[in-house]
A and B are shown apart, each in its own frame.
Chain A
């Protein structure tokens, strides 16, 4: 079970109060892009064993989208940050590095 703290409303809940939204920080390739770029944007996803940056939504709570850094093996949550961030905050990267998983 994951315990997640929503960075939008500050409420902590377990994972069934939230909805996962897949890999975070995708760059969109739309009309006019190369076929390979579009296929990558649409279909290709990381599937790491270890730290992973994901989108989540506080589906049963405040309703807002945000980001979570999570270890797919230990299920440790390294932190959550707002959907407006285009890259993980340094403090979360430092926390991951401190686990020797940078």
Chain B
């Protein structure tokens, strides 16, 4: 297997109140199925160790976990080298269910955004209420950042993780970097 190369090649930026870093090669498995089907939920829990997270929630530690994406879609994040095997085990467990699991690790870029300015930085580009009372640990939002689609969640370690399509990975990093460097912040932060 060839070595994975991320969209920004490990880019990092340290601003005055927040830091942005390429998460490196992250394993990502897209899972789709019927949330209300006990067989589907049990198969996902057996492989991932997590019950299907409800709307706008992430279960897990650091980068690794299970993230809600839509009423019938979740994203499993794990070490890059495990993704292919985990997708295969999920597919085997689904059997004849109308459900799928696909390794999308190379289709997306992933970043960590941390520091006291991280909330304000994301709030500047996403139409999301990022006040601490409205967006806490384990909360997820799949939305727009700048001009492109992105999803982010707030980990228990206080850092945000953000995923976007690989093709716009460099744009997203540059957007975050430029916004962080400008020092401009939305009202209320």
Contacts and interface: CB of A to CB of B under 8 A. Distances in A.
A53 B70 CA distance: 24
B142 A62 contact: yes
Interface in A41-96: 59-64
A13 interface: yes
A10 interface: yes
A8 B55 CA distance: 10
A63 B143 CA distance: 10
Given A10-B55, A17-B127, A17-B144, A62 B149 contact: no
B71 A60 contact: no
Given A13-B128, A14-B127, A16-B127, A8 B143 contact: no
The binding surface of chain B is classed by DSSP as strand
A102 B115 CA distance: 52
B166 interface: no
Contacts of B71: 8-9, 62, 64
Interface in B103-159: 127-128, 141-144, 149
Contacts of B127: 13-14, 16-17
B12 interface: no
Interface string B58-89: 00000000000111010000000000000000
The binding surface of chain A is classed by DSSP as loop
A13 B70 contact: no
Nearest to A14: B127
Nearest to A1: B127
B100 to A, nearest CB: 15
A11 B144 CA distance: 13
Given A60-B149, A63-B70, A13 B55 contact: no
B56 interface: yes
Given A10-B55, A13-B127, A17-B127, A62 B144 contact: no
Contacts of B143: 13, 17, 60-61
B149 A9 contact: no
Interface of B: 55-56, 69-71, 73, 127-128, 141-144, 149
Interface of A: 8-11, 13-14, 16-17, 59-64
